[in-house]
Amino acid sequence: MTWLLAMLVPNPLSTSLATLLTVFALFPHCALATLSPISVKGSKFFSSDGAQFFMKGIQYVRPVDGLLELNDASQCAFDAPVIQKLGANVIRVSYAQPGDNHDACMKAFDDAGIYVMVDLDGGEGSPIDDESPDWNVYKRDRWSQILDTFQKYDNLLGFFAGFDTFDQTNTTNAAEYVKAAITDMKAYRDFMQYRKIPIGYVAYDIAELRTLQQDYFDCGNDSISADFYGINTEYWCYTDEFAGSDYEEMYNQAEGYDIPIILTGTGCSDVTPRDFSDQAALLGTDMNDRFSGSLVYEWANAEGYKFVTYNNLQATGEPTRLRDFDELSTQWATLKPTGIRQSDYSPTLTKRKCPDPTESLWDLPDVAALPVVGTSGLTRPESSATTGSVDVAATQGVTSGPVQNKKISGGAIAGIVIGTLVAAALVMGLVIFFLRRRRQHVTELEGSQAQPVESDKMLVTENGSNKESFYSGTSHRFSAREQSSELDTSATAYELSQGHQAENYELPGTQEIVYPKPQDPEVPLQPSPYVQAQRKMEIDWLENEEARLRHQRELLRQQND
């Protein structure tokens, strides 16, 4: 196999491909995803094998302003194994740039058995402000682009459509804009035929507003309610007993809640070092029948509430573990909730009633109309979209339908992977070989009246990009208040209050741009931008793989030492 590559592909590329192929053959698991999508049924999360899923999560932040954590492939390779040793199975990422390539980081966390949750509102001009809330075309487009970027990853657990949007009783009118955003993002997700990725909200915990917020983001039919709900709290500071604590009060208020509920920001910041004794209550029998775990604050916070530190201002390299790391790791190691099997779970839960306005507390009207933007102008895909390696079908009463877990033997998987890699390597070698021959042929034609070849043509949309905004500026409003007798839990699209259905429009046509012929016969014919981009992408891929292999080799060397 190696000699065949050497014949087809000029060195040193043949050596790199042969090396990569050999590594993949020896370690086939490196090329395989380890996680399957998480689904929601009733008030619980479930993994693909039907086991109930409980979050042992952290908020993944490195203390550098403007840093996009999931863009740093080399650092993800350092951090993911350490977060795995902490015992975490989920991270939350606050900031992500739509359209960026996050493959390497998502793969690093996938290999470590870690799911990722992403904030949709992380970015300039994107969050919903509590003092002057709005939901507009710009925010809708940016959020949907983040959804587009991450929907393909199997270890994407869900999205946050807001996090602590308002923290005062006199700013509760912002809630309707957050709920409008949830509605539009769920509609977009379903319209694009992506899997039913859970989209939820995390509320800042104000004791007087706790049940009002909790009810508001659950009320209405499935098309407008949150898929899960979080409470951002740090109440467990000065007690180690569940009875009489604020956690017990939150547990009682969650009785009968029909969507998963989690705690976030846990890990009291008033006590140093933190002992994380609240995790025993949250993941133990005191609470795990109504709560699905937590996200602990915070990986490497600059203010001191952190699990690791780095030895430079760029927060790069191997992280150094702190005492909080050991404390939380010890707690999580003893907490292994099993819950209920998905096949044995038949919930008979109902949506909450939307809260009535309360003077000085909840200032939304009793019949609130959501300021949604809608999906008009979007063209539905011709066939169902597939994301990752699993196509998740929606079923009635299930936010994300059960995944069929078809087991394949390790030998069969290894054979499939090796065979696929061999075929891919051969194809790549042939392509590069013919490109080399083509370049030689082009060189021979220098100085002649060469004509552009067909592959030097490029189709673009009329506005010069390969993807146009899929929304129009039309705004719709519809009622957020639904009586429980009118709920339709199998609905896949919402109905606008004016009675209008979202219309489909065809995307604008394309025009063909042909690069001009070279006018000066003395100027060598250059490859087209398309060919140059393709070559650059191949080179970048090889460099990333070589960097990853060097890191893996270093880890293996350290383990052997």
CATH of the domain at 327: 3.20.20.80
Give the CA dihedral 445, 447, 448, 451, nearest 10 degrees. 70
What is the three-class DSSP state of 445?
A: coil
At residue 205, what is the residue type? D
- For residue 535, being part of any structural domain is answered with no
What is the three-class DSSP state of 163?
A: strand
What is the three-class DSSP state of 125?
A: coil
Q: DSSP string spanning 330-373?
A: HHHHT-------GGG------PPPPPPPBTTTB-S-SSPEE---
Strands 115-119 and 510-514: unpaired
Q: Is 170 exposed, middle or buried (0-12, 13-18, 19+ CB in 10 A)?
A: exposed
Give the residue from 41, 38, 35, 37 showing the smallest Cα distance to 395. Answer: 41
The residue behind tokens 């800042």 is 204
Omega before 69 within 30 of 0, i.e. cis: no
CB 90 within 8 A of CB 260: no
First to last CA, the chain: 33
Strands 369-370 and 478-479: antiparallel
- For residue 497, being part of any structural domain is answered with no
Number of neighbours of residue 81 by Cβ within 10 angstroms: 17
Report which secondary-structure segment, H or E, holds 39: strand 39-41
Q: What whole-number distance in Å separates Cα of residue 301 and Cα of residue 308?
A: 9
Each residue's pLDDT, cut to its tens digit, for the chain (561 residues) gives 444 444 444 454 444 444 444 444 444 334 455 899 999 999 999 999 999 999 999 999 999 988 999 999 999 999 999 999 999 999 999 999 999 999 999 999 999 999 999 999 987 768 898 888 999 989 999 999 999 999 999 999 999 999 888 877 777 888 999 999 999 999 999 999 999 999 999 999 988 899 999 999 999 999 999 999 999 987 777 667 888 888 999 999 999 999 999 999 888 777 778 888 899 999 999 999 999 999 999 999 877 789 999 999 999 999 999 999 999 999 999 999 999 999 999 999 999 999 988 878 888 876 668 999 998 777 776 654 545 433 333 322 333 333 333 334 444 444 555 556 656 666 666 656 656 655 555 444 444 444 433 333 333 333 333 333 333 334 444 444 443 333 333 333 333 333 333 333 333 333 333 333 434 444 444 555 555 666 776 787 787 778 778 877 777 777 776
Give the residue from 153, 142, 212 showing the smallest Cα distance to 34. Answer: 153
Give the residue from 328, 371, 466 showing the smallest Cα distance to 137. Answer: 371
- For residue 197, being part of any structural domain is answered with yes
Packing angle between helix 13-26 and helix 529-560, nearest 10 degrees? Answer: 50
Number of neighbours of residue 197 by Cβ within 10 angstroms: 26
Q: What whole-number distance in Å separates Cα of residue 18 and Cα of residue 422?
A: 10
- For residue 123, being part of any structural domain is answered with yes
- For residue 133, being part of any structural domain is answered with yes
- The range of the structural domain enclosing residue 138 comes to 55-370
At residue 115, what is the residue type? Y
- For residue 463, being part of any structural domain is answered with no
Instruction: For 193-220, give the secondary structure using H, E and C.
Output: CCCCCCEEEEEECCHHHHHHHHHHCCCC
If one counts the domains in the chain, the total is: 1
- For residue 220, being part of any structural domain is answered with yes
Structure token pair of residue 430 = 């042939």
CB 151 within 8 A of CB 144: no
Mark 50-76 as b/e (b = at least 16 C-beta within 10 Å).
bebbbbbbbbbbbbbeeebbbbbbbbb
What is the three-class DSSP state of 88?
A: coil
CB 47 within 8 A of CB 340: no
CB 452 within 8 A of CB 515: yes
Packing angle between helix 174-191 and helix 137-150, nearest 10 degrees? Answer: 50
- For residue 419, being part of any structural domain is answered with no
CB 77 within 8 A of CB 551: yes
